[in-house]
Amino acid sequence: DGGITQSPKYLFRKEGQNVTLSCEQNLNHDAMYWYRQDPGQGLRLIYYSQIVNDFQKGDIAEGYSVSREKKESFPLTVTSAQKNPTAFYLCASTKLGTSKQETQYFGPGTRLLVL
Amino acid sequence: AQTVTQSQPEMSVQEAETVTLSCTYDTSESDYYLFWYKQPPSRQMILVIRQEAYKQQNATENRFSVNFQKAAKSFSLKISDSQLGDAAMYFCASLPRGSNYKLTFGKGTLLTVNP
């Protein structure tokens, strides 16, 4: 089946620890995105990438890092510099150069909790 | 900067009835896209409907339709013949053309469907 997978579903972080959230897609999509969702809030963009080995900061990039070594994968690292990481994290992707390139499709999300 | 406002934090509807969710947006762009996404308790974000701003005709997808008022910057979602499975958080989002596909989300409306 084609789709976007995120792992793990739940993740626990200790103080001072870096953790990495996985996002993989087999849709042959070009662009990938990371969003953060807090209770009572909409989604906010953390980072996005339109091409391998290139990515841009979104609105709330501080305390996060990403890499895009493969077209299918866009992992997000939550560093110890992120002081309030507890949130729900959603990955999305889209196929560029098509009539529906503006439409983003989402993975199932990862819930990150701080111990 | 884009802003999206959903003025109804919560709405409820009786099964088989019709409900309208409100959304207003602010943009200086002349060409953009508008979306409604649904987030059920599983928290997966699902695209409900998409509207291109240059198209006068309101988009429809089965029981879902929009009332797009470009001059008023209004983009409401109408759900007809509501079903229990429609219960979810609904997010309105905007995306200017040529914005590197950066979506801006509202804070959401929680829809309850009563049997």
Nearest CA to CA, how far is A3 from chain B (Å)? 12
Q: Do A102 and B97 touch (CB under 8 A)?
A: yes
Which residues on chain B place their C-beta less than 8 Å from a C-beta of chain A? 4, 33, 35, 37, 42-47, 50, 91, 93, 95, 97, 100-103, 105-108
Model pLDDT, residue A103: 86
Low-confidence ranges of chain B (pLDDT < 50): none
Sheet with A4-7: strands ordered across? A4-7, A19-25, A76-78, A64-66
Torsion, Cα A45 A47 A50 A55, to 10 degrees, reads: 160
Dist. CA B88–CA B104, nearest whole Å: 19
Q: Which residue has the higher pLDDT, B31 or A70?
A: A70
Query: Would the pLDDT of A1 be above 70?
Result: no
Question: A2 falls in which pLDDT band (50, 70, 90)?
Answer: low
Q: What is the pLDDT of residues A3-38, one digit of tens each?
A: 999 999 999 988 889 999 999 999 999 999 999 999
pLDDT of residue B55: 87
**For chain A, which residues lie within 8 Å of any Cβ of chain B, measuring from their own Cβ?**
31, 33, 40-45, 48, 50, 56, 58, 88, 90, 92, 94, 96, 100-109
Asked whether the beta carbons of A33 and A89 are under 8 A apart, the reply is no
Whether B11 and B113 have beta carbons less than 8 Å apart is answered as no
pLDDT in the model for residue B100? 66
- Interface contacts A/B by beta carbons within 8 Å: 55
Which pLDDT tens digit goes with each residue over A104-113? 999 999 999 9
Q: What is the mean pLDDT of chain A?
A: 92
Asked whether residue A47 carries a pLDDT value surpassing 90, the answer given is: yes
Q: Test A103 with B4 for CB contact under 8 angstroms.
A: no
* Residue A83 confidence (pLDDT): 86
Output the furthest CA–CA distance in chain B (Å, rounded): 44
Could you tell me which of B91, B107, B94 has the C-alpha nearest to residue B29?
B94
pLDDT (0 to 100) of residue B102 = 80
Summarised one tens digit per residue, pLDDT across range A74-84 is 999 999 888 89
Give the model's pLDDT for residue B13: 97
